[in-house]
Structure formats: structure tokens, C-alpha cells
Structure 1
Amino acid sequence: MRFIIYALLGCVWWDVTTGARRIKLGLGEPNSPETRNAQPVVDYWFQQKLDHFNATDKRTWKQRYQINEQFYKSGGPVFLMIGGEDKMSSKWTNSGAWIEYAGEFNAVCFQLEHRFYGDGHPTEDASTANLVYLSTEQALADLAEFMVGTKATYNISPESKWIAFGGSYSGSLAAWLRMKYPHLVHAAVSSSAPLLAKIDFHEYYKVVEGALSTYKPACVTQIKLANQMLNAIIESDKEIKYINKKFKLCDPLNAKNNKDVSILFETLAGNFAGIVQYNKDNRLSNRTNEITLETLCDIMTNESIASPLEKYAAVNDRMLSSNNLTCTDYVYENTVNILKNISWESPYASSRQWTYQTCTEFGFYQTSNQDEHVFGSKLPVNFFTDMCAEVYGEKFDADLLAKGVDRTNWTYGELNIKETRVVYVHGSVDPWHALGMTRTKTVKTAAIFIVGTAHCANMYPSATTDLPQLTKARATIKAFLTDWLTISDDLDSANQETVRFD
């Protein structure tokens, strides 16, 4: 039996075989540019401290990084791509908008993998006791330590300007790095970054609803009716066999198991949310890239299909077939057991690590808990917070999370972050823009809002199929970099206004 979760693994919408379809943050792999031959990529290892904030702790580990020097000329800047919540992809070392910018500015490019994700293992396993070393503070200190050490290793001039790049969670890190270590980082490009930590992220599905409605308002109506029909069947505990068959459930549904029911509703909502979040971006081609929000809405408004519920099931069929799956797994216990696996060898290690960060620092839980909600009422916030305690231990409760979220917000300033020379980029279709900087609020920063684009779209390589407003946004980012790279640290350009591309 196979089952699937769409997890926050580096801005990617991964098809991994874990308990359910769960839409999170993530950066996928870029398509390789057709006009440039990829350079050989070599892994290097930087000796890193385990705990940057305890001088008596002498433990170290080796952090993986890669380098691209093909465009570098003496005196050029240093570009740093920050790794996110999955294994670092070598494709980013040779591809993406940042590499195109590197060619323009003669930059040397480094990509650094995030601690606890990928091939660098700071501890013997990912037990809860060891995950205490997984935090944004430690990750930012890793970046600072790496920059200082790399200057010596590669004889980088003290005058060379460092520019940080990141998307999604790593986009947040890029902005926070500029804020916390301004003497090391000259500027940053922060793409699709959620800066506001929030436990109940109910706005997520509102953006999904808006994106679907913009294409076809009737699509949203049909989804809502389908969820109401599904809920009525489950509440009455009748015709459950019909649900088992129509949605190709891997195991018979127990309507009295509320957590299994929640996973089922989340899985079916994820069919739409995942497609909206990454709609028409330029990630490495895969089957799901062939499916767009238009594809799903066309199914939901197909009058030849008898009822909204059957249309909802037809969408699920399309998503199953696109991932070569034969059935839908929704069992809560499967998800919990997978997240409890502390081995580095687990194929779902990144899921465990990221879930830990959501349980201690961010929240980010996409809730749906009102009867009139498009995706139903079966995803209350306590469904997610209860899972934290079940996976990591009873002390990881809602109170600990609330304190952690407060700490994240007052540490980094949420949407009132005070920094300079950061350009924030968001797409209107991306649900995560609801937690990001879409309007300039501080001096000497810029916000770019691109109508019609999805999560991290500006980070991928340029393509002939790009929307005109996306092309303009990339050019505007380049203009800001040109400005910031030609001024000294104490002579910033004037305050920037929000730039909107329709």
C-alpha cells in the first residue's frame, strides 16, 4: 500500500509516501536553462559548531555546501543561496534567477545546506532531545560562521559585498540574516517569505479560494457543495462504502475517528491548495506540473459529471493518477508513526524536522473550521497542536507553541522588521503572501507584488512562457541589486515604494 504527503520540504511539493497530502512551504528544483551548459557540481564541507550560543560546547559537525565560480571576476560580489527545509539540490547551484544575476554582476555563488536537513547530520539522530539544536537562531549563526570562514578559505576580499537569496522559509532567513548580521550581509532578496509566525493560519485557504474564484466562481461553489455533501454522509455515518469507493480510500473509513476524518478533508483540500500554491511555476518538470488550477476547476464545473461530490472525487482521481498512486491514504496514525521516526535514514526525515519547527517556532497551520468554509469544518487548530504533543512528547502542547510563536515574532519583528536593502517578492496566487511583506513599511527596502504568480515563481529560471509581469519583476530585482551593489554601506538609496505588477 502506498500513501502520500505533500510536505514542506524546501519549497517543494513532494510526492513522498507518508500519511496524507499536506501543503506547506517549499522551494522545488529549477528547470535547467537551455542556453547554458551546467557546470560540474562538487560537494564541500564546512566544519560548523553544534551550538553557537554555548562557548563550553565544543562539538562540531560538517555542513554541506557547493560553489559556482563560472561568472566570477575579481572584485565581484558574493551570492549566498540559503538552504531550506529539505536536502540541498545541486540544480540550484547551476540554475535559477540568482545564477542569471550572477552572470550580470560577475558574482561567485555559494549554496549552503540547512542544518538537520539533507546530508549534514549535526547529531547521531533526530531525537526530540537533539532537535533542540534545530532553530532559526542556530541556522542564522551557521550562515554567519560560514561567511566569515569562507572569506579566509577562498581569499575573498573584505570589500566584496555579500547578497543573500532565499525562498519561502529560506526567504525568511535571508531577511532575518540581513537584520541580525548587517555587517556581514550587504543586501538580500527574500522571495515568498512568511515573516509573521502564526498558529492559526486560516488565511491560507482564503487565498486558495480567491485564486480558484478568479478563474471560475462556479468552481468554488462546487467545491463547497462537495464538502457539505461529504460532511453530511460522514456525520450520518451512512453510505460510507460510497465514500470508500468514490475516493479510492486505502482503508475503510471509520466515521467516528475524528482525526482520520480530518486527514481525509485535509487531503482532498490539498488537491487544490498544492496546485494553486505552485500554479504554473518553472520547477523541474514532473507530472503534477501538467495540472493547473484551471485543470481542476474545469473538472469541478464539468456538467457531464452528475454531482459536486463526484466531481470532487474525479479531481482526486486525477491527482492519484498523476502520482502513480492507486488509493488515498488518510490514516492519522500512519502520519504520526512516520513523524516519530528519528533515524537519519528515514526517507521522511525532513518532514519530522520541519514539523518540529512548526511546533516550536512558527505554527503556520492551515485551518478550516467553519461550517460555511469552502473546504469544510474538520481542520480546527487543535488538530495540529495535538499532533505536536503526540509526535514529540506531551510538553509540546499549545502553550509551548504559543510562547514559541511569540518569541519568533518579537525576535525578528514580524511585519515590522527593521532592516535595509531587502527586496521582498510575493505572488498574488501564493497563499503564503498573507504572512509576508507585500507593502514597504521600513526605509530603504522594497516590496514587489506580482499579480498572477505563485510560490517562489521569481526564483526559477526565465522562460518564454513567463507572464510579462514576472519578467518585469525579475528586471526590477536586478535594478535594485545594481543600485545596492554600487553604493557604500553608509549611503543607501531613498526609501522604496511597493512595486506592483499586474
Structure 2
Amino acid sequence: FDIAPEFGALLVFIEHRFYGESKPFGNDSYKSADTLGYLTSTQALADFAVLITSLKQNLSAVDAPVVVFGGSYGGMLASWFRLKYPHVAMGALASSAPILQFDDITPWSSFYDAVSQDFKSESLNCFSVIKAVWDVLDYRGSNDSGLLELSKTFRACKTVRFPSSLSNWLWTAFTYTAMVDYPTPANFMMNLPAYPVKEMCKIIDSFPVGADVVEKAFTAASLYYNYTGDQKCFEMEGGDDPHGLSGWGWQACTEMVMPMTVSNESMFPPSGFSYEEKSEGCFASYEVRPRMNWITTEYGGHKIDKVLKRFGSNIIFSNGMRDPWSRGGVLKNISSSIIALVTEKGKHEVAENMQGPKYSELTNA
């Protein structure tokens, strides 16, 4: 954004179909597979291509060069757009784009291993408390009286029905905080202070010896949901979708299938990946089955260094190594024009979301 005026560039923010206000079927957009069937990455890329070419014609700028930018899923789209539509975009910056998170290209446990390492690097005690809390939640939440007490501890707006609701609430807080552990205050997902992982661990470490692990974990997670202090209670079940992920559930059940497991070394409960369970869950929700290998069939991914070296150009892959998604990103230069920018202490979408002197110090470290 800062350098756009130097190039006389027009910045265009294109909204992905089915997200934000781009609902092609209005309130019925998420109604069934008949409408959701139009929510795919390939359709989105085609939308972008049509919009860009049409806009250039309308502005009498058909010869103007185009560079696409994106972060996370948007970063994946940016790199794929350059590969699919090289005649439309001359280059791409793909920030925190885990295009290798599919099939068996990247170890399935890598994401949660990275989240855990982020917390462990701040405090071993913090890591240990979070690792211990899951069994305690299951034990205490095994009966109605236990769930009532846990609901009070978690300041739930309504008494929760399942201990898994509390676990998911904690899990989300710790995972997303690891992703957005920026060196400056930010509101990318939630309002958070600088270095929120460190701040969470400070909260846990400030408790006296012998304090309740559930209270420690809840108080730390509250930093993510309530840093501003204005939340009177928390919706644990059936609340709003603060991250706008309703459409992503469909995509994760059709094309964006990224198998993930949790290893014994993680601070989260160990778990595996079962295609059968994934398939049944997706069918129950949307009446569709996941296509495990579709993304690598459509866009590639296996032996990407050799493939892109022969057929790709003008793509910058930017990753911060403290971002859990970096494990599925391109971390080494592939050619003279397909470049990997790696920031050792960088976080999610660091190339797009960070500015100022602290970021400069970080990248030059």
C-alpha cells in the first residue's frame, strides 16, 4: 500500500464469492449444495480474471501490468492465479500461503507442532499448563454439575452442554493467537496486544504455585477474546461467526482438504486423521464428500521445485517461521524469479499486515 503511489498504481480489493457481501444467492447462498456448488477456488480465480480484464478495459488501461497480492488462503489464490492466468497478472506476492499443506507433501502434525513450539519457546510452564488442561476439562465436564461449574469459570452466557465446547474455545484462542503473534498491537482477527503469545504465557506464569489449571488456561485465552475487557460473558455454543468462516466449512469439505494430526509432542490432545470420519462429517453437514487430491490435481504441489522451475515465474512466497502455516509454505528459492522470503520471527501474513520500525528490525534480524 505504501509504495503504490510511487508507481501510480490502482489498488483493487476483490471480494471472494460467498464471503463478505458477495452472496450470489442472497440469504439462500448457504442453503444447500445446489447453491454452494458455485463456491470453489477455481470459480473465484475466474471471477478475478474477468473483473481485472473488464476493469482495465473500462479504464482504457488494457496494457497496464497487474500484480496480485494475497495472504493465507488469499496467498494461495495469488500464486495459483499467476500460474493459471499468466496473461492477466505479471506477478504475485503470496504471503503465508500453505500451498504444500495438501496430500502428504507436508507432515500432517506440522501445524500444531508449530503452534505448540511458539508457546513452548515463551515458557515451558505455559506449555505444560495448556497441555494438562484438556484432560481436566474432560474429567470435570463428565457430569451436569461439573459442566455448571465450568460454565461459571468460563463466564459462559449459557450453561454449556458439552465439555468439547470449552475445549474448542480454548483451542481456537491458542491457535489463532500463535498465528497473529505480531510485534505490535493489531486487530487482524481480534484486538490483541503486541506479542500476544508472550502475554498469554505471562498470565499463566503469574498464577501462584498450585493454582487451578483450568483457571489459568481460561484467563490466558480471555486475552484473545476479550483484550478490550468489554465482554460480560462468552458464547461457547451456537454463537456468531467472528472470523466469517461459514463458507470455509464447505470448501474444507470439497476441495481444500488439508489433513492435520496432533502429535504426542504437541500441547494439544493427540489425534489422528481419518478420511472416513472426515467424509461422514462432511456428508452430514453438506451432503458432499471431500476430494482429497483435487487441489494438487488442479494446481500441483508435488515436486513443486522442479515443476515451478520449468513452468512458473514472478512469484514471491513470503513466510514468517513463527506462523504455523509456514510449514506448508514454499521456504526456499525455486528460481531467479520464484523467490522465498523467510522471516525467522515473523507471523501470519507478516508481509501484508505489518508496518513500521519494529517490522524493519524484525526482518533485518
User: For this structure pair, what is the TM-score category when the shorter chain's length is used for normalisation?
Assistant: 0.7 to 0.9
Q: CA, structure 1 residues 388+442, in 2 after alignment: closer, same or farther (shift >3 Å)?
A: farther
* Structure 1: distance between partners of 2:360 and 2:142: 45
Q: Measure how far apart 1:365 and its partner are.
A: 6.3
**Residues 194-221 of structure 1 deviation map (CA, whole Å, 9 limit, x = unaligned):** 2135389532221111111122222111
* Structure 2: distance between partners of 1:372 and 1:469: 28
Q: 1:207 aligns with which of 96, 108, 114?
A: 114
Tell whether the 8 Å contact from 1:195 to 1:436 is kept in structure 2 after alignment. yes
Q: 2:88 aligns with which of 184, 192, 208?
A: 184
Q: Measure how far apart 1:309 and its partner are.
A: 2.8
Tell whether the 8 Å contact from 1:247 to 1:316 is kept in structure 2 after alignment. no
Structure having greater relative contact order (Cα 8 Å, sep ≥ 6): 2
Question: Paired residue for 1:64?
Answer: none
* Structure 2: distance between partners of 1:326 and 1:371: 36
- Superposed counterparts of 1:69-80, under 5 Å: none
- Superposed counterparts of 1:108-257, under 5 Å: 108-124=10-26, 125-126=28-29, 127-128=31-32, 129-158=34-63, 160-198=64-102, 202-234=109-141, 239-254=146-161
Q: 1:354 aligns with which of 239, 244, 248?
A: 248
AA at the equivalent of 2:65? K
Query: Is 2:301 the partner of 1:414?
Result: yes
* Structure 2: distance between partners of 1:286 and 1:372: 27
- Superposed counterparts of 1:24-423, under 5 Å: 99-124=1-26, 125-126=28-29, 127-128=31-32, 129-158=34-63, 160-198=64-102, 202-234=109-141, 239-254=146-161, 260-280=162-182, 283-284=186-187, 288-290=191-193, 292-304=196-208, 306-322=211-227, 324-331=230-237, 334=238, 350-364=244-258, 367-368=261-262, 373-377=266-270, 386-393=280-287, 396=288, 400-401=289-290, 404-414=291-301, 416=304, 418=308, 419-423=312-316
Query: Is 2:329 the partner of 1:424?
Result: no
| Unaligned ranges ≥5, structure 2 | none
AA at the equivalent of 2:192? N
Q: CA, structure 1 residues 317+109, in 2 after alignment: closer, same or farther (shift >3 Å)?
A: closer
* Structure 2: distance between partners of 1:319 and 1:107: 36
Q: CA, structure 1 residues 383+104, in 2 after alignment: closer, same or farther (shift >3 Å)?
A: farther
Q: CA, structure 1 residues 467+296, in 2 after alignment: closer, same or farther (shift >3 Å)?
A: farther
Task: From the two aligned structures, give the one with the greater strand fraction.
Answer: 1
Question: Paired residue for 1:19?
Answer: none
- Superposed counterparts of 1:484-495, under 5 Å: none
AA at the equivalent of 1:412? Y
**Residues 460-480 of structure 1 deviation map (CA, whole Å, 9 limit, x = unaligned):** 35213325133x5xxxxxxxx
Task: From the two aligned structures, give the one with the greater helix fraction.
Answer: 2
* Structure 2: distance between partners of 1:110 and 1:319: 31
Query: What secondary structure does 1:145 align onto?
Result: helix
AA at the equivalent of 2:41? T
AA at the equivalent of 1:388? C
TM-score with structure 1 setting the length: 0.62
Tell whether the 8 Å contact from 1:262 to 1:379 is kept in structure 2 after alignment. no
Q: CA, structure 1 residues 105+139, in 2 after alignment: closer, same or farther (shift >3 Å)?
A: same
AA at the equivalent of 2:268? F
Query: What secondary structure does 1:166 align onto?
Result: strand
| Unaligned ranges ≥5, structure 1 | 1-98, 255-259, 339-346, 473-501
State the Cα RMSD in Å: 3.1
Q: CA, structure 1 residues 328+205, in 2 after alignment: closer, same or farther (shift >3 Å)?
A: farther
AA at the equivalent of 2:133? A
Q: Measure how far apart 1:360 and its partner are.
A: 0.7
Q: Measure how far apart 1:314 and its partner are.
A: 2.1
* Structure 2: distance between partners of 1:372 and 1:350: 31
Q: Measure how far apart 1:239 and its partner are.
A: 4.2
AA at the equivalent of 1:432? W
